[in-house]
Amino acid sequence: MFRINKLTDYAVVLLLDMARAGQVRAAHQIAADTGVPVPTVAKVMKALVRAGLVRSTRGSSGGYVLARPAESIAVADMIEALEGPIALTACVLDADDTCEREGFCPMSGHWNRVNTAVRKALTGITLAEMAARPAPASWRAQPATDPGGVFRRPAPADSGPALA
């Protein structure tokens, strides 16, 4: 199964929140608005700043804001900011480690096509497009103390505030 890690999932949630807010906000405010714990927000923001997706400002009115328009931030950018290059196999990464089957592998060259298609799909979806669609009413933010993730589907008897 191809799966992004939990920090990348948090990064997407934080970036969506930042795109919708459209203003400089402190880490603790972003944490309160998303349900992501403050230490996790700080860790993810450092990676997003390094990747050039977020800008940080210091001072009493400081915090974090998108470094460029949401229309120019692709899902691929978000993933690569935390996980590095998108590659389904080491063959696609041009890894230094060569496979002992490389000379007669039936997939040689084919994984590149698959990886290119996946990357193209992830590049074709922007943060602005994601932010324009509200989260389904059946999903809500988890409390920051819940280590299970940012979003969950509530049980039928669970009636909490829905995300907008």
- Counting residues of the chain whose pLDDT is more than 70, the rounded percentage is 69
Domain boundaries, the chain: 6-148
Distance (Å, rounded) from C-alpha 88 to C-alpha 4?
Answer: 11
Contact (CB, 8 A) for 82 and 49? no
Instruction: Return the CATH class of domain 6-148.
Output: mainly alpha
For the segment 80-85, the average pLDDT, to the nearest whole number, is: 91
Q: Which amino acid is at 153?
A: R
pLDDT of residue 4: 83
pLDDT score at 156: 41
Confidence at residue 98, expressed as pLDDT on a 0 to 100 scale? 61
For the chain, give the mean pLDDT: 79
C-alpha to C-alpha distance for 142 and 149, rounded to whole angstroms: 7
pLDDT (0 to 100) of residue 61:
84
Of the listed ranges 67-71, 122-126, 139-143, the one predicted with least confidence: 139-143
Q: What is the pLDDT of residues 85-111, one digit of tens each?
A: 887 776 666 555 566 666 667 766 677
- Judged against a pLDDT cut of 50, whether residue 154 lies above it is answered with no
Question: pTM of the prediction?
Answer: 0.73
